[in-house]
Amino acid sequence: MTTAAQDAELLARVLDGDHDAFTQIMRNHEDRVFAVCLRILGDRDKALDATQETFLTVFRKANQFKGDSALGTWIYRIGVNTCYDQLRKQKRRKTDPLPEHVDPQDLGAEAAVDSAGMRPEIQRALAAIPKDFRAAIVLADIEGLGLPEVAKTLGVPVGTVKSRVFRGRRLLAQELGNQTT
């Protein structure tokens, strides 16, 4: 993981037209962005698309980064918003997903990407809860971000994050059959 100073220096180079610096920013954050997208969307191909779209947006809007938060937090927020956009589009045109056995495991995936995988029942349970709760749980419980960083990433107060995580955990437990009410 990079430090804020390293990210700031790389971003300054990007703004001066250094494409190699952007490549380094992308390398520093792509595994975690992909993991967040995968957990929110629950589909590897959609997560790859969302990750790519996230970094296209970061590149186009690099000059709009104000420095109010860490660069990584800003990038993750773009990733979460990209996932929300995909979920909205997906809602408009409902389709049945292919069975899991049709999508073979990618044996060439790196360790960080492999670790993003979850048991199918957890993926289904996450997909069944509302997106706001899902994003809060993914960022806080699965990615291990602190509540203040989750709040910045989602653009909501810390109290709202606490509520979403609490309610999301309850809904997740119900979906998994661990709680009846």
CB atoms under 10 Å from CB of 148, counted, come to 12
pLDDT in tens, 21-33: 999 999 999 999 9
Contacts of 181 (CB under 8 A, 6+ apart): 174
Domains in the chain: boundaries: 1-117, 118-181
pLDDT of residue 35: 92
pLDDT at 168 > cutoff 60: yes
What's the rounded Cα separation, in Å, for the pair 135 and 9? 29
Angle between helices 147-154 and 158-175 (to 10 degrees): 100
**Quick one: average pLDDT of 153-177?**
90
Give the model's confidence band at 61: pLDDT under 50 very low, under 70 low, under 90 confident, else very high: very high
CB atoms under 10 Å from CB of 91, counted, come to 9
Q: Measured between alpha carbons, how far is residue 120 from residues 43, 68, 88, 101, 165 in Å?
A: 11, 37, 23, 11, 21
Select from 1.10.10.10, 3.20.20.120, 3.10.20.30, 3.40.50.740 the CATH code of 118-181: 1.10.10.10
Give the model's confidence band at 112: pLDDT under 50 very low, under 70 low, under 90 confident, else very high: very low
pLDDT in tens, 2-53: 687 888 899 999 999 888 999 999 999 999 999 999 999 988 999 999 999 9
Give the model's confidence band at 92: pLDDT under 50 very low, under 70 low, under 90 confident, else very high: low
Predicted model pTM = 0.64
Select from 1.10.1740.10, 2.40.40.20, 1.10.357.10, 3.40.50.360 the CATH code of 1-117: 1.10.1740.10
**DSSP of 114-179, one letter per residue?**
HTT---HHHHHHHHHS-HHHHHHHIIIIIS---HHHHHHHHTS-HHHHHHHHHHHHHHHHHHTTS-
